[in-house]
Amino acid sequence: MADTLHLAADPVELTAELVDVPSVSGAEAELADLVERSLRAQTGLEVIRSGNSVLARTNLGLPKRVILAGHLDTVPVNDNLPSRLEDGVLHGLGTCDMKGGDAVMLNLAATVDRPRHDLTFVFYDCEEVEAARNGLGRIERELRSWLDADLAIVCEPSNASVEAGCQGTMRVELRTSGVRAHTARGWMGVNAIHGVGEALRRLESYSARTVDIDGCVYREGLQAVSISGGVAGNVVPDLCVLSVNHRFAPDRTPEQAEAHLREVFAGFELTVTDSAAGALPGLGTEAAQELVRAAGGTPVAKLGWTDVARFAALGMPAVNFGPGDPTLAHTQQENVPVNQIRQCREVLHRFLNED
Amino acid sequence: MADTLHLAADPVELTAELVDVPSVSGAEAELADLVERSLRAQTGLEVIRSGNSVLARTNLGLPKRVILAGHLDTVPVNDNLPSRLEDGVLHGLGTCDMKGGDAVMLNLAATVDRPRHDLTFVFYDCEEVEAARNGLGRIERELRSWLDADLAIVCEPSNASVEAGCQGTMRVELRTSGVRAHTARGWMGVNAIHGVGEALRRLESYSARTVDIDGCVYREGLQAVSISGGVAGNVVPDLCVLSVNHRFAPDRTPEQAEAHLREVFAGFELTVTDSAAGALPGLGTEAAQELVRAAGGTPVAKLGWTDVARFAALGMPAVNFGPGDPTLAHTQQENVPVNQIRQCREVLHRFLNED
């Protein structure tokens, strides 16, 4: 392995180099070391290390600051290493999610020589595991001032389009209860599984909202994700538990989403088991508008939940912008078209560097 | 423990003696030994042993033969031994299910001195466990001729009423399938749990038959007994499995019951996982009519499935008639009113003995 990476060279080669250093969540040390050494070799950057995260920033006293963020970890290896370039597409674990984006960020750290805004680069660990281990969360708790900025760009795969904001997510549990009885005398009991029929009926006929915010169209959803009930093959069951996942547009807070679900499932015992706020697209700010213009095209709504929401919660506009198709993330055959890597690098360089 | 039981004495005391020899399924040897020795001490009975079952019969060449059958085993001990007599009620494991009935049978073996029909007594093992271990099934396979008769009386608890025939039981599995998708893009998938809503709707609105056969009223039932589905909290599930238990009156064969369920659940993938035929009450025969007259009152339908159905399948009328409330079977507080033990003994003695 190279002692440092050649950051200013081709971001496609850089992507392959990053991919070929495995960095499954919790085992990012080797890659973080390499990224840290490579960034420290640059001039004009303040670099610090936090666990397996590496942070770097300019301190030029410019009026505005832009954060670029990317996680270093991947989901587990699935017989998809090392990287392989074929017909303009780079294949392998992490190519899409999200070492292509990391490579773009590293290249920018070395090539934006006349920045229009001060820049902060955040390469963090443990994004692909439970929220409590997320490196960005740790940085927020321990190095809060490193996250002050006017715009955050999370370089997660977005097909090289600006994906703005993100939807919120909420999981609720509906429990129906009944009265046990022997099935030979079923009329002496109350069947809790039958009682769930009405909730499934409402799910089936649910009409999800489509919400337009700043030109971004968010399509909501309400889906049963698990169901379980039953005591024995000859017993009328007295309990059934249905879990439902709601994805809601960022014009609603989690509290408003919960109130909506309580209305949809009126008459059922409902418990919120998990929720995360969405993020408004925040495209009204000048910095965000500049990025949209640099990217060309029309920004689209981010439907999944990403760490964009963490930045939005800190009070700044935040967008996703990175190479790769997000629907390929976490699949064995994940890949990234190399032209998207180059395109993202060009757009961001145009946005961040003085002409 | 006594070397032999005093069979001709009070059947209530005899019940207590049987209860106080624990005989959880598979561990009936000690009780079977005691029953075998006690029967061998009687005159006029041919006695054989098969595993932990004991069989005894008269061979008087009478025109008709009546079988009396009872299992010796109990469900597991649940801090409810030894037996305890209180205010005319005998409490303890097996008092109700079914050592009260066994005691009546043993008493009859010793006191019916001028039988109107030849008699066969079957005390068998492992009724309370999976059907493959059932002692009566083993006897049917290995000692088939011992089960030839014109009427079978299974002395399971029936509140000292003649319960005639029994309902059939069938379990079916409905599987709905769908297409997985991320819940953030739920419209790209097909939710298999939502798909079960229609089956639950049909269950909810199902109108069960009530069937009168020979004056016995059978009340059918159709109950969901388990449901499961779900992949992960953020995935549209592609499979849901619903198990349904159908109890059907003995005017239908299992094949007819299955055809009925395929009609009820038309459009769903349905698999029969388990079924057992019911038994017609068979009260039209002379022997059955005599028993009904001896018992007084009106025979009622047996709703649960019992070994009565095994005898019915062998081509003879079969009824339940024994002391104890069947809804107390398998409960910690099971008990039997002693007057029901005495009443069953008197009814059967009157039925089986020449005046």
Residues B291 and B267 in one domain: no
> What gap in Å lies between CA B355 and CA B352, rounded to an integer?
9
Give the other-Cβ count within 10 Å of A260's Cβ. Answer: 17
Residues B79 and B16 in one domain: yes
| Interface contact A225, partner B, CB < 8 A | yes
Per-residue pLDDT averaged across B10-26, rounded? 97
Average pLDDT of chain B?
Answer: 94
- Residue A252 is predicted with a pLDDT of 96
- Inter-chain touch B223–A191, beta carbons under 8 Å: yes
Question: In this structure, is residue B47 part of a structural domain?
Answer: yes
Question: In this structure, is residue B4 part of a structural domain?
Answer: no
Per-residue pLDDT averaged across B22-48, rounded? 97
- Inter-chain touch A182–B227, beta carbons under 8 Å: no
Count H helices, E strands: chain A?
A: 9, 19
Number of A–B residue contacts, CB under 8 Å: 159
3-state SS class at B353:
strand
Active-site annotation holder among B28, B97, B102, B127: B127
Residues A179 and A131 in one domain: no
pLDDT tens for B76-135 read: 898 999 999 999 999 999 999 999 999 999 999 999 999 999 999 999 999 988 878 999
A184 interaction partners in chain B (CB closer than 8 Å) = 167, 169, 221, 247, 303-305
| Interface contact B191, partner A, CB < 8 A | yes
- Residue B144 is predicted with a pLDDT of 96
A127 is catalytic: yes
Question: In this structure, is residue B6 part of a structural domain?
Answer: no
Q: Domain ends where: B250, B276, B302?
A: B276
pLDDT tens for B296-321 read: 878 888 887 889 989 988 989 899 99
Per-residue pLDDT averaged across B186-198, rounded? 94
> What gap in Å lies between CA B152 and CA B288, rounded to an integer?
9
The secondary element (H helix, E strand) that includes residue A243 is strand A239-248
Residues B84 and B151 in one domain: yes
Q: What angle do the packed helices B100-111 and B338-352 form, to 10 degrees?
A: 40
Angle at A291 between CA A285 and CA A294, to 5 degrees: 140
Q: How many domains does chain B have?
A: 2
Residues B212 and B227 in one domain: yes
**Least confident piece of the model among B11-20, B96-105, B231-240:** B231-240
Question: In this structure, is residue A5 part of a structural domain?
Answer: no
Q: Residue B280: which pLDDT band, with cuts at 50, 70 and 90?
A: confident
Residues A43 and A75 in one domain: yes
Q: Which domain holds residue B76?
A: 11-165+279-352
CATH code of residue A214: 3.30.70.360
For residue B197, what are the CA distances in angstroms to A226, B181, B238? 13, 19, 14
- Residue B327 is predicted with a pLDDT of 86
Residues B79 and B208 in one domain: no
> What gap in Å lies between CA B134 and CA A202, rounded to an integer?
46
> What gap in Å lies between CA B253 and CA B268, rounded to an integer?
22
Instruction: Tell me how far the alpha carbon of residue A297 is from its chain's centroid.
Output: 22
pLDDT at position B185 over 90 = no
Residues 121-160 of chain A with CB under 8 A from chain B are none
| Interface contact B232, partner A, CB < 8 A | yes
| Interface contact A223, partner B, CB < 8 A | yes
Question: In this structure, is residue A209 part of a structural domain?
Answer: yes
Q: Domain ends where: A241, A276, A311?
A: A276
Residues of chain A predicted below pLDDT 50:
none
Residues 251-280 of chain A with CB under 8 A from chain B are 274
Q: Domain ends where: B276, B299, B326?
A: B276
- The shortest C-alpha distance from B4 to chain A (Å) reads 38
Q: Which amino acid is it at B329?
A: A
Q: Residue B140: which pLDDT band, with cuts at 50, 70 and 90?
A: very high
- Residue B273 is predicted with a pLDDT of 93
Cβ distance A302 to A154 under 8 Å? no
pLDDT at position B1 over 60 = no
- Residue A1 is predicted with a pLDDT of 57
Question: In this structure, is residue A2 part of a structural domain?
Answer: no
Residues B144 and B53 in one domain: yes
Question: In this structure, is residue A1 part of a structural domain?
Answer: no
pLDDT tens for B141-155 read: 999 999 999 999 999
Question: In this structure, is residue B3 part of a structural domain?
Answer: no
Give me the helices (H) in A112-230, please.
135-142, 192-204
Residues B97 and B186 in one domain: no
A73 is catalytic: yes
Residues B234 and B284 in one domain: no
B167 interaction partners in chain A (CB closer than 8 Å) = 184
Residues 299-338 of chain B with CB under 8 A from chain A are 303-305, 327
Span between the terminal Cα atoms of chain B, in Å: 36
pLDDT tens for B153-170 read: 999 999 999 998 889 999
For residue A175, what are the CA distances in angstroms to A153, A227, A238, A267, A269? 41, 10, 10, 11, 6
pTM, whole model, 2 decimals? 0.78
CATH code of residue B23: 3.40.630.10
A248 interaction partners in chain B (CB closer than 8 Å) = none
Percentage above 70 pLDDT, chain B: 99
Residues A231 and A193 in one domain: yes
Cβ distance A342 to A108 under 8 Å? no
- The shortest C-alpha distance from B186 to chain A (Å) reads 6
User: For residue B315, which phi and psi values (nearest 5 degrees)?
Assistant: 100, 15
Residues B161 and B176 in one domain: no
